[in-house]
Chain A
Amino acid sequence: EPEVTQTPSHQVTQMGQEVILRCVPISNHLYFYWYRQILGQKVEFLVSFYNNEISEKSEIFDDQFSVERPDGSNFTLKIRSTKLEDSAMYFCASNPLAGGGGSYNEQFFGPGTRLTVL
């Protein structure tokens, strides 16, 4: 069964460094997402991406964050200058359909990347 994959599973970085988290969504999916879960807290929406542009973003997704689909398979989240509070689990998800109009919303989540900022 197709699944969303994420690499690396665990990333350790120094404060101020740039990190890129990688995701390979399911191949025929059209909508892509990033979520964040700080340890012990709920999963929070960061950004959705459709047709090569950001569709929605939350307040968390500030100028330090960017997303990109550099080729036909990868979907990346970049944090330009990491802060201690960026330490979290980052989940990528994909959806086969475009949003709106009563479309069928199911998101397939990847296994997550645990980011530790020292």
Chain B
Amino acid sequence: AQKVTQAQTEISVVEKEDVTLDCVYETRDTTYYLFWYKQPPSGELVFLIRRNSFDEQNEISGRYSWNFQKSTSSFNFTITASQVVDSAVYFCALSEALSNQFYFGTGTSLTVIP
């Protein structure tokens, strides 16, 4: 079973539109960590955010915001006023406290059209 599900394979938006990338996770651990990474065409993984399971506060960083809801096991990522430079593949990942490995979702490829 997938521990991290990103149901949206590809999304295209027009520049300046808002876009939300969905992430649903599955774990039995009470302590876990959730992450979002951006992978531009150059291939590296760019860390965006980390959330631990005890902190359900939503976070905003510039045009980025994250909505963590334990009740629905979701950790969604919203980009406000999208820009062409936001075009990339975005990965959601889960790390459980008792195992250090990361479980990545299959990624969402975002294309922002100018």
Contact = CB atoms under 8 A, between A and B. Distances in A.
Interface residues of B, number: 24
A44 B45 contact: no
Contacts, number: 67
B44 A43 contact: no
Interface string B19-33: 000000000000101
Nearest to A106: B50
Nearest to B50: A106
B100 A111 contact: no
- The B contact surface, by secondary structure, is strand
Given A42-B91, A43-B91, A107-B95, A102 B31 contact: yes
A42 B104 contact: yes
Interface residues of A, number: 30
B61 interface: no
Nearest to A107: B102
A65 interface: no
Given A106-B50, A111-B44, A44 B104 contact: yes
A35 B106 CA distance: 14
Given A106-B33, A111-B44, A99 B106 contact: no
Interface of A: 31, 33, 35, 41-45, 48, 55-56, 58, 89, 91, 93, 95, 99-109, 111-112, 114
Interface of B: 31, 33, 35, 37, 43-45, 47, 50, 52, 91, 93, 95, 97-107
